[in-house]
Each structure stands twice: as structure tokens, then as C-alpha cells.
Amino acid sequence: MTFLKERINKIFEDTLRNSYNNITYEGTWSPAIDLYETETEFVAEAEIPELRQDDISVRLDSNILTIEGERKADKHKIDGYFRMERPYGRFKRSFVLPDTVDVNIVKASLDNGILRIILPKKEVEHQRHIEIGD
């Protein structure tokens, strides 16, 4: 179902973009993002090739992770293209995370076009047995 939704969104996005001879100018796009959980953390990995740290913003507000940025097209190269399929422009993705994320020790890194965000889980208080007195 998710695949179908993403395909329909892509069709609408492609239709709304300004284009001439299959050249796509700045518009919205959506980078691929994997979000998974381990025993100790949640991890988000986003494919954002050609972006620098200055092009990206990562925020965690309560339990909502937001990744946004912009990939700019080189205006000097656009005139020579016959076809441009890689999207350019602004993007914004948000994800609701469980409230078990420890917002004080979140880390992010960017390496070879992959933004990796480590969201450690809060330490769970262990249950203790309480004796009932007379």
C-alpha cells in the first residue's frame, strides 16, 4: 500500500513540475529514508547525494523527527541537458517516533551522500519488588 501511495505522489509531483523537453527545474522531491530500530536505538538513514551539511536541517521536536533541505540544480548545465531525471529543489520529511527516544544524545552524520541519525533509547527503569509489611 505504501508503494502505491508513493507512486501516486510521484505522478502528481512530476505533473506539477515545470518542464520543457523533459528538463525538470527546481521542485519538490522526497529522498529515500530507511528508519529502523535496534535494542538500544532508532536509526534513520537518508539518501541525499550532492548535499552538504549546510544544505540540511535535522530537528527533533518532542517525538517528531524532521529532515529538510535543498538540492540546487546547476543553472549553467541545464541548457545542455536532453533529459534530467534527478530531482532538485526543497524537501521535507517528518516521522513520529516513540517517546522512548532520549532527545539529549541524538547524533547525526553525513558520509558519501547518506545522512545517518542515531536516536538512542532512554534507559528503562528496572522493576523492583516491594515487600508488603505488616
Once rounded to an integer, what is the mean pLDDT over residues 18-38?
64
Q: Quick check: 107 pLDDT over 80?
A: yes
Once rounded to an integer, what is the mean pLDDT over residues 77-95?
78
Contact of 115 with 67, CB cutoff 8 Å:
yes
What pLDDT shows up at residue 62?
81
Residue in the structure block whose three cell numbers are 501516486: 8
Render the burial of 62-72: b for 16+ CB within 10 Å, e for the rest: eeebebebebe
The H or E element spanning position 6 is helix 2-16
Residue in the structure block whose three cell numbers are 533529459: 83
Structural domains for the chain: 2-120 (2.60.40.790)
Once rounded to an integer, what is the mean pLDDT over residues 19-35?
61
Contact of 40 with 121, CB cutoff 8 Å:
yes
